[in-house]
Amino acid sequence: MAKRAVNFAAGPSALPVQVLETAQSEMLNFQNTGMGLMEHSHRGATFTEVIKTAEKKLRSLMAIPDNYKVLFMQGGGTTQFSCVPLNLLKPAEEGKKPVADYIITGTWSAGAAKEAAKYCDVNKVCPPLEKYTGIPHQSTWKFSPDASYVYYCDNETVNGVEFPSVPETGPIPLVADMSSNILTRKVDVSKFGMIFAGAQKNIGCTGVTIVIIREDLIGNASPLCPLMLDYKVQDAKGSMHNTPPTWSIYIAGLVFKWMESEGGADVMENRAQEKADALYGEIERSDGFYTAVVNENARSRVNVPFTIKGGDKEIEARFIAEAMENNMFQLAGHRSVGGLRASLYNATTVEQAIQLQTFMKDFKVRVLAESK
């Protein structure tokens, strides 16, 4: 068997080895039933227990209040760009469109706003940004008094921008895309009207998206809302109006169990900070050889974008190639921004982050010595 790679991918990302080993052992014979879970009926007792257990563990890990529903949906986080306005927009006065506020700080929130504009007037809360390298001070934000909700992306995977705290929106429901930092720190769910997250970064494998929504926000979908995107329909059928992604939900449940055994969100938060500190510390100590792309007060703990020698593409390509020779993979930046990026999700260990830090230090020494 090939040596396990150190995977710094932004998604699909690394999974805990214990989770993979359990899934492997149960692939052909799930809990002595004589068949794999993917062969079981999604309406049978065996899978019903799997999805109920997954929800129970997630509720415990995030301390989700009883008046919030947990949905397991398909279509990835991008489908939620449509689901949110189709379900949460309030009717507007005759002759007017409903309004929604969007805090745009990166690629994904910009994409969500573009999709929402098909259904409502989008109020862009922040001043326009030439580059997504920080979060404008809240004193510059302009909210709409009649907005149906306020939307933001808590961590921009592409750009490496993360909110250090929860935006204050008063009585207007706050919607958060937490696809890339859910379960990496403690969150007060009661501050949000809705949270959603694609699974393939901290929750499990691709194929399922978690939606956590306050129950009073369910049941107001637009008549245009497709059946499968209606939160009320999904809630009424226990996320099983049609056949759900059974394997993805099973893997999510195993990840939740693993997180529970590791100590929960508190432990994950401490590890996330330790991993981020290792890389950002090396960047800051490099005397400009490495440069962090994002302003210090908005740097993501889980997606660390950086450049080498002002964005020298030749040296950056060499860095990626030599990292691969050292069993470290997926360090290229997103195609839209270039540079380099290390993603440090929960399954990435502190030791692996330090391994990358050591490589960065050694690489700098070698390159600088060659230039003398």
- Across the beta sheet with 174-177, the strand order is 68-73, 209-214, 194-198, 174-177, 147-153, 99-103, 121-124
- Asked if 177 is an active-site residue, the reply is yes
- Asked if 201 is an active-site residue, the reply is yes
From the candidates 57, 69, 101, 108, give the one annotated as an active-site residue: 108
Distance (Å, rounded) from C-alpha 358 to C-alpha 343? Answer: 16
From the candidates 57, 69, 201, 309, give the one annotated as an active-site residue: 201
From the candidates 101, 154, 177, 235, give the one annotated as an active-site residue: 177
Q: Which long-range contacts (CB under 8 A, 24 or more apart) does 74-77 make?
A: 74/207, 74/208, 74/209, 74/228, 74/244, 74/245, 75/209, 75/229, 76/198, 76/206, 76/209, 77/108, 77/177, 77/179, 77/196, 77/197, 77/198, 77/209
Q: How far is CA 11 from the centre of its chain?
A: 9
Active site residues: 108, 177, 201
